[in-house]
Structure 1
Amino acid sequence: MEISQLAYQAFSLFKEQQAKLHGVSVDFITKGHMFTVSPKVERNWFKHLYANDDLLSKIHTGTCKEMICEDIGLVTPTGIISGRVNNADRKNPRQPRKIGSTNGIQYQTATTHFDTYIPYRSLNEWATEPEFQKLVNAFYFEQKNAEIRMIGWNGIKKADVTDPATNELGQDVNIGWLQRVRDHKPEHAFKDKIGELTVTIGKTGTFKNLDDLVTKAIAVIPPAKRKNLVVFASDNMLLDRASALYAGANNKDLADNAVSIARKEVGGRPAYAADFFPENTIFITSFDNMAHITQTGSIRQRLEENSTFSCVDRFSETEEFYALGDYDKAVLIEGIVFVEEDANEGGA
């Protein structure tokens, strides 16, 4: 397929706008050179990437100046500050205490390539639209947005050469939030067992229901750090729980109410069925304890017209990492199995 004259003109205007925004010439972009996204555009880039996403709009999203950093802009409680001293004898001066602290873990950014192409067919379709340039960028942002969530939940390592055929959810692209707990707080990462207790739920299970499991898991978190906790769970787990409650209800109204509650909260805490979240898994923390950080000035792009394959190639790269602010405020439970769930004891 050939690019239409109208689409060619629209895309040429797109390149002119890119050149103006990033301080390079149109010729520089047309020749396929890599350019650094300008600071102003970078801010807008983050705004569009995070603002309208139900998960990413709630977590900590920011930038860092260096490739290796320790302070990611999150402070964690160090203990109670309120109190008093008796300094009548002038021997016990009042001692100011720091509000919060970093966790002392170093994070290193990983170069992340995000290379896509836009078919001429799409450019031809968009050419008549007044918001052509927004459509070109939306094509990019929608997928990038989804992949941040994929890697955040499933990432386990940073491979030198990634293999998307084997790691369909970006397991080898970067280290995600769950893997951070496994690496840096293993005593809060449970798989198949919690101590000597197998993680089975139901009438014949170790835990009576999902609420029972979550309540015991939250007890692992220090009391002062239990504010705003959210229970992230795989959708299949919340569906199983809802089905059991529905089956055990005495009438349809009670059943509908039970199912509604089952999908919204677990163990008295808000439940969140996250896209791309691993099955048979629960992760307990707060939204603002999770972070996706990008190095300032690391977003680089280049455009290359590829008539051989009837498309425009868009090469993009960033330096980024995933982190948690407070590892004491996170609990991971994997390998959960439902066994003969007692519907009448669903906990809702």
Structure 2
Amino acid sequence: MAQPLSANGAKKYAELQTAIAESYGVAVASQQFTVEPSIAQELNDAITAKADFLEKINVVPVTEITGEKVFIGVNGPVTGRTNTKTTDREAKDASALENSQYVLASTESDVGLPYAKIDAWAKFPDFKDRYSAAVQKRIAQDRIVVGFHGTHAALQTDLAAFPKLQDVNKGWLQQLREKAPHQVVAVGEAGDTVLLGAGGDYANLDGLVHDAKQLIDEILREDGDLIAIIGSDLLAADKAKLYTKQGDTPTEKERIESAQVIATYGGLPAYSVPNFPVNAVVVTSFDNLSIYFQDSSWRKQTVDNPKRSRVEDYNSRNEGYVVEQMEKMALIENVELVPKEPVE
């Protein structure tokens, strides 16, 4: 039989409900309420702070469900000279005219925390902060998962069928596949995957990242802010080579483990991002990736559900993923490592 909240846990939870109601300016937190736009911004700032990657990209409030992208970049030169004796100066429209719209979708992030966890946290004076951090961190990680794995926005999502939240929304990679397929490589010369290693399509990650960079528009390729996001399996394989060569030296081993040995691939700063596909490489800039949310759409409710022996925190808003400039992003995916020859 499920155990109810302990007396101290129930007391702390009641205090939490009161604090939430006061923070959001509502009578009670157990009934669904609309979060004011200014407070919604603070809530999103707190969520963003729970993931290093989200702090590097744009998480932007907008007023409409559909509209023009916020950070449409300049995709061509604007500098020149005009002989004003004969010709009027003319401002150049260097923004990308295609793929300039965003679309948001209703998104729910409902977090259940078991009574046992609430009871365990009740003894700490920072109970409210621990509770908020747990909810916010899960929302932050889910946002990243959808951004890299989302393929469509289903009327009703199915976590069992799509464990990587593929049906929550169209993420950055899927939008690139659909709107700029010529900037996506998923099939290598050796077969139905891109092979990495001796005898494969690419001998090493440097060559692979270099080729990915060449898929980006020539005007944007040398902006100086491009980075490479590299899947953990590909990085792990490269680190394994370093361990083999230098891992017996304590100082070198420490540098390898702290990811300080190879800071660049193909001339670009390299990053490992949680929940990024393990066998893919993306070249873009951090500020080219955005998450938009409608600032007036956030709804929230916190309830005690004894039927499930847990506290439930319901959050919903209209949200979407945006590649600000499609021309400034390239993807090589389905990368497989060349099998090692058996040691005789």
TM-score with structure 1 length normalisation? 0.86
Whether 2:49 is the aligned partner of 1:51: answer yes
Whether 2:199 is the aligned partner of 1:204: answer yes
Shift of 1:178: 0.6
Report the equivalent of 1:17. Answer: 19
1:243 pairs, out of 237, 240, 244, with 240
1:105 pairs, out of 95, 100, 103, with 100
Kindly, what percent of the aligned residue pairs are identical? 27
Report the equivalent of 1:38. Answer: 36
Whether 2:266 is the aligned partner of 1:267: answer yes
Once residues 241 and 190 of structure 1 are traced to their aligned partners in structure 2, the CA distance between those partners, rounded to angstroms, is 21
CA displacement 1:171-197 (0-9 Å, x = unmatched): 111111110100111111111138999
Question: Tell me, what secondary structure is at the counterpart of 2:52?
Answer: coil
Report the equivalent of 1:335. Answer: 334
Question: Tell me, what secondary structure is at the counterpart of 2:39?
Answer: helix
Whether 2:86 is the aligned partner of 1:84: answer no
Shift of 1:257: 10
Once residues 216 and 254 of structure 2 are traced to their aligned partners in structure 1, the CA distance between those partners, rounded to angstroms, is 30
Shift of 1:340: 6.3
Shift of 1:166: 2.1
Once residues 322 and 281 of structure 1 are traced to their aligned partners in structure 2, the CA distance between those partners, rounded to angstroms, is 19
Once residues 160 and 213 of structure 1 are traced to their aligned partners in structure 2, the CA distance between those partners, rounded to angstroms, is 38
Is contact 1:238–1:263 with CA below 8 Å preserved after alignment?
Answer: no
Shift of 1:256: 5.7
- Aligned length in residues: 335
Provide closer, same or farther for how the CA distance between residues 200 and 305 of structure 1 changes in structure 2, counting only shifts above 3 A.
Answer: closer
CA displacement 1:138-169 (0-9 Å, x = unmatched): 12011111111111111111111211112111
Shift of 1:107: 2.2
Counterpart residue identity of residue 79, structure 2:
S
Provide closer, same or farther for how the CA distance between residues 334 and 6 of structure 1 changes in structure 2, counting only shifts above 3 A.
Answer: same
Question: Tell me, what secondary structure is at the counterpart of 1:304?
Answer: strand
Report the equivalent of 1:285. Answer: 284
Q: Which runs of 5+ in 2 are unaligned?
A: none
Counterpart residue identity of residue 232, structure 1:
I
Shift of 1:223: 3.2
Report the equivalent of 2:185. Answer: 190
Question: Tell me, what secondary structure is at the counterpart of 1:293?
Answer: strand
Counterpart residue identity of residue 201, structure 1:
L
Is contact 2:99–2:326 with CA below 8 Å preserved after alignment?
Answer: no
Is contact 2:77–2:94 with CA below 8 Å preserved after alignment?
Answer: no
Question: Tell me, what secondary structure is at the counterpart of 1:56?
Answer: helix
Question: Tell me, what secondary structure is at the counterpart of 2:146?
Answer: helix
Counterpart residue identity of residue 226, structure 2:
L
Report the equivalent of 2:9. Answer: 7
Report the equivalent of 1:65. Answer: 63
Shift of 1:331: 0.5
Provide closer, same or farther for how the CA distance between residues 70 and 193 of structure 1 changes in structure 2, counting only shifts above 3 A.
Answer: farther
Report the equivalent of 2:143. Answer: 148
Report the equivalent of 1:345. Answer: none
Question: Tell me, what secondary structure is at the counterpart of 1:232?
Answer: strand
Once residues 140 and 104 of structure 1 are traced to their aligned partners in structure 2, the CA distance between those partners, rounded to angstroms, is 34
Once residues 143 and 149 of structure 2 are traced to their aligned partners in structure 1, the CA distance between those partners, rounded to angstroms, is 10
Kindly report the root-mean-square deviation, in angstroms, between the aligned alpha carbons of the 2 structures. Answer: 2.9
Once residues 236 and 95 of structure 1 are traced to their aligned partners in structure 2, the CA distance between those partners, rounded to angstroms, is 50
Question: Tell me, what secondary structure is at the counterpart of 2:23?
Answer: helix
Q: Identify which range, 96-105 or 117-126, moves more after superposition.
A: 96-105
Report the equivalent of 1:160. Answer: 155
Provide closer, same or farther for how the CA distance between residues 186 and 195 of structure 1 changes in structure 2, counting only shifts above 3 A.
Answer: farther
2:115 pairs, out of 114, 120, 128, with 120
Once residues 65 and 247 of structure 2 are traced to their aligned partners in structure 1, the CA distance between those partners, rounded to angstroms, is 58
Once residues 140 and 291 of structure 1 are traced to their aligned partners in structure 2, the CA distance between those partners, rounded to angstroms, is 21
Q: Identify which range, 35-44 or 291-300, moves more after superposition.
A: 35-44
TM-score with structure 2 length normalisation? 0.87
